[in-house]
Amino acid sequence: MGISAVIITYNEARNIERCLSSLEGIADEVVVMDAYSSDDTPDICRRRGVRFYQHPFDGYASQKNRANTLARYPWVLSLDADEALSPELRCSLLALRPELEAFDAYAFNRRTNYCGHWVRYCGWYPDRKVRLFRRQQARWGDRPVHEQLLLPEGARVGFLKGDLLHYSYYTTAEHYERARRYAQAGAEALRQRGKCVHPWTPFTRAIGKWLRNYLLRLGFLDGKAGWTICRISALETYWKYRQLLSLQRCVEHR
């Protein structure tokens, strides 16, 4: 019951070495699907002896599904290039080997490193993800912001101890840039679903997001990083509904 680690990349030279190192002794092979990176990502992957492929990027779900078809083993361990297995999660995966068939998929918590700070609150932890699954029974479904792993009805999902370490943002500028992209994609998705909003909705939604993450989800306990995360998350919500309001007005004035 071998395990294929599958990773998609694009200009991930600062992350991919750490990701690959964490997989040593865990995966029976590593498959990397690269979207024609212009940095040292291809050289690092080839030097590490992974099975390396390239294809133009046509969506996260499409790239991941394409890479999964290249896996030689029946189980897929799906990681992003900016993720790595913690020592405890590595131990859990090693201990799981003799009993891998007990479930159809396995989930574990993901912990995010934000500009050097490990986030414990803000609604960011525990961020449970299903990342180990039977290759023939799962596929990635496209969503506007985050792709989703689709499992068959009745699939048995186990849970493993240990964290998937996520090195998400190195600077707040990166967070702002991604928040704007997510807001745009989120607004377009809501519009396609026929969602309508009022002029005050961007403000009320943003305030609600900040109160939930900073106070109810104890974001203040993450200190300065928690304040920054909750503020930018609230701004993303404001931008999303403001953009949706703009799209709505364009349709009304046609």
pLDDT tens series, the chain, 254 aa? 799 999 999 999 999 999 999 999 999 999 999 999 999 999 999 999 999 999 999 989 999 999 999 999 999 999 999 999 999 999 999 999 999 999 999 999 999 999 999 999 999 999 999 999 999 999 999 876 678 999 999 999 999 999 999 999 999 999 999 999 999 999 998 998 888 889 999 999 999 999 999 999 999 999 999 999 999 999 999 999 999 999 887 766 55
The total of structural domains in the chain comes to 2
The boundaries of the domain holding residue 231 are 172-252
In terms of domains, do 45 and 113 share one?
A: yes
Cα 79 to Cα 250: distance, rounded to the nearest angstrom: 40
In terms of domains, do 247 and 226 share one?
A: yes
For residue 114, which phi and psi values (nearest 5 degrees)? -115, 105
Asked if residue 199 lies in contact with residue 249, where contact means CB atoms within 8 angstroms, the answer is no
Cα 246 to Cα 249: distance, rounded to the nearest angstrom: 5
Copy the structure tokens of residue 94. Answer: 């090693």
In terms of domains, do 228 and 119 share one?
A: no
For residue 151, which phi and psi values (nearest 5 degrees)? -110, 155
Burial grade of 178 (CB within 10 A; 0-12, 13-18, 19 or more):
middle
In terms of domains, do 82 and 206 share one?
A: no
pTM here? 0.91
Of 135, 169, 203, the last residue of a domain is 169
**Residue keyed to tokens 């370490």:** 165
Of 142, 169, 196, the last residue of a domain is 169
